[in-house]
Amino acid sequence: MAARITGLTTRLITVPLLRSWGAEAPENHVIVTELTTDDGGTGHGFSWTPTIGPQAVQALLDYDIAPFIRGLEANPEIVWDQLWKRLHEAGGGGLTTIAMAGVDLALWDLKARQAGTSVTGLLGQRRESVEVYGSGVNLHYTLDQLVEQAQRWVAAGHNAVKIKVGKPELREDAERVAAVRQVIGPDRLLMIDANQRWDLAHTFRALDVLGEYGLEWLEEPIRADDLWAYRRLRKHSPVPIALGENVHTIYRFRDFIEAEAVDIIQPNIVRVGGITPFRRIVELARANSIRVAPHLLPELSGQLALTLAEAVSVEDVEDASFEQLGLLAGPSPVRITNSNGQSTLSSTGGPGLGFEFTGKPTQPLPASGDVITGAASPGSAASESKGNRIEYSNS
């Protein structure tokens, strides 16, 4: 007889970033989930948001999701479909799918643990390692800081890097892109991300100027809701168009693919609702010969990347992994290494998803000589919320 879900508990951990993502995003929020079943099983998962709605996500999990899933068969595919229908009144994506990821990840973790393997092993590992590209939330960096970051990426063995664009003056974007291209040389891939800051007209002007720097892709230049604009953009763009971190459902990914409005999709595993919908979206892309580049969260995205039929590269934002932020009580489930001048990610092969979150996250000190923009100082407070109770850690 299949095991049934008996309970779901949550706790919210907020931790300052070592390298601030700007005034609007100085910290990250992780909602840790623990799911139990009537056969004594326990699954561990999480939801995540860098800025908006961590308390709302936790409230959805505590007050709407936990009562609904209690008594359901502990099957991630079955639970996901029923839960999405249940929550759709509150929205088909966004906060609802972010919250759903906390359940879906816990169920996959449970399933793998009960099978005596990792989630990577459970899904079928297809390769020993995947390539990692260097990324940074760096639009607020000075030009000198951006150049120094690019130099660190080269030293770390990244053969592809991504920077932010979207300065008030296009000439400043051009200066920054040119400077990074000079540092990384002609053979490394260079991607740019405008984070939905432009309209269609400005995007075309920017491509006229920036396209000469040999760009691998232009990421989300326009508001991700604007399918009409993306269809026109891709039709005339000399640079491949990437989007997806702000697309939350397989139906919306289908709309962009069928409209021939995108070259590379970038689903964020948490924002789409977990491993279950992520795998469906990847298969949709594969059937339509569309490239996939998972968005952020290398310790999670990397594990899934090792199982995909088509090779993908994994995004690693500098000094922003869970391990680097002090969020993990145990070892990271993945290992990023520089071997023979190339940065790659491999699995450590731990049980389940391999995440063991600390109750009181601490901030590691920056390495000597590093320039840390907006770094958390030693002793800065990280907070943990359990239900209505807030605990602060000054360690």
What span, in angstroms and rounded, lies between the C-alpha atoms of 193 and 221? 7
Residue 44: active-site member: no
Considering only CA atoms, which of 223, 249, 307, 256 is closest in space to residue 100? Answer: 249
88 classed as catalytic: no
What's the Cα-to-Cα distance from 325 to each of 115, 169, 187, 286, 382, rounded to whole Å?
Answer: 30, 33, 32, 34, 11
Catalytic residue among 29, 158, 164, 248: 164
CA–CA gap between residue 351 and residue 259 (Å, rounded): 41
d(CA 66, CA 98): 14
Return the H-helix or E-strand segment holding 390.
Answer: strand 389-393
Say if CB 32 and CB 13 are below 8 A apart: yes
Q: Which residues contact 239 (CB under 8 A, 6 or more apart)?
A: 207, 210, 211, 215, 217, 218
Please pick, among 29, 44, 111, 295, the residue that the annotation labels catalytic. 295
Cβ–Cβ < 8 Å for 31, 54: yes
Q: 238, exposed or middle or buried, with CB in 10 Å at 0-12, 13-18, 19+?
A: exposed
- Count of beta carbons in the 10 Å neighbourhood of residue 214: 14
Known catalytic residues are: 164, 295
